[in-house]
Structure 1
Amino acid sequence: MTDKPGYGEADASYQAAGGIEGIRRLVDDFYQVMDTWPDAERIRRMHPADLSPARDKLSCFLSGWLGGPRLFQETYGSISIPAFHARWPIDTADAEAWLGCMQQAIARQPWSPAFKDYLLRQLAVPAQRVVQAAQARQAAQQ
């Protein structure tokens, strides 16, 4: 038996990702996929041409979300991912494209298969919440 925390406990997920360096590699791969994968064309158009700020913000967010330093909050302040994304008409296909980019980026990482599976399952939750927030905002505007 081990005393090592499981993914989602303390900073175990952050450590499994390789800390901020591993997270930045994931984010770089994620946006590289988004730039080149035809299925991601619509979500890529939701981003500015220069992805540098988006790369930093996603890396900082994932750091805290995975149990590491709360770099996003320290640098940019607090954020509600669903509320922030509600300004775009994001639907289920967009969330699936986003997750597809993330799945391909995760596959490129030198992580254990168990952590890769765990992370993709966890990322599906905020992806679905973003869709729900966008749908709620659209319904409120009608």
Structure 2
Amino acid sequence: MSSPDTELSFYDEIGGEATFRTIVDTFYAGVAEDDVLRPLYPEQDLGPATERFTLFLIQYWGGPTTYSEARGHPRLRMRHAPFAVTPLAKDRWLLHFRAGLDAAKLTPAQDEQFWDYVTHAAQFMVNSLE
């Protein structure tokens, strides 16, 4: 519970873990059927990737630090370096993330804040033009 002097984190503001799970579960449902993105996930089961991404986003937006406790610093570019993240892959990634945000039914201001972050992050991850 927060006091008047305590600022609510974005994590708490948008509904906590349940909201992040809605976003990421919806995102990975799209990835699972995507002919461009699915090959970028070598694991047969997308469950571990889903959990890692959920924990990362939860931590980034002010929730528990479980991601770093389990995996250390995110090092996103390094972790994605083995995969060719093309402009097309970025666009498909954003398409599925958009579906996740839509499923979460955030307020327009919350949606805009989240979308701004992910669009910049997605562009940052592009590491191949082919």
TM-score (norm 1): 0.78
Percent identity reads 23
The RMSD of aligned alpha carbons is 2.3
SS at match of 2:36: helix
1:59-112 residue CA offsets vs partner (Å, 9 max, x unmatched)? 110011112222210122222111111111111111111011000111111311
Post-superposition shift, 1:11?
5.1
User: 2 CA distance for matches of 1:74 and 1:35?
Assistant: 27
SS at match of 1:41: coil
Structure 2 gaps, min length 5 = none
**1:54 aligns to what?**
49
Amino acid of the structure 2 residue aligned with 1:42: V
Q: Does 1:71 align with 2:66?
A: yes
Amino acid of the structure 2 residue aligned with 1:28: D
1:14-54 residue CA offsets vs partner (Å, 9 max, x unmatched)? 12331112111211111112223xxx321111112201100
Structural mapping, 1:92-131, within 5 Å: 92-131=87-126
User: 2 CA distance for matches of 1:30 and 1:122?
Assistant: 16
**1:45 aligns to what?**
39
User: 2 CA distance for matches of 1:95 and 1:86?
Assistant: 14
Post-superposition, which runs of at least 4 consecutive aligned residues in structure 1 deviate over 3 A?
none
Size of the aligned set, in residue pairs, is 126
User: 2 CA distance for matches of 1:56 and 1:92?
Assistant: 25
**2:21 aligns to what?**
24
Deviates more, 1:11-20 or 1:122-131: 11-20
CA change 1:4–1:51 in 2 (3 A) is: farther
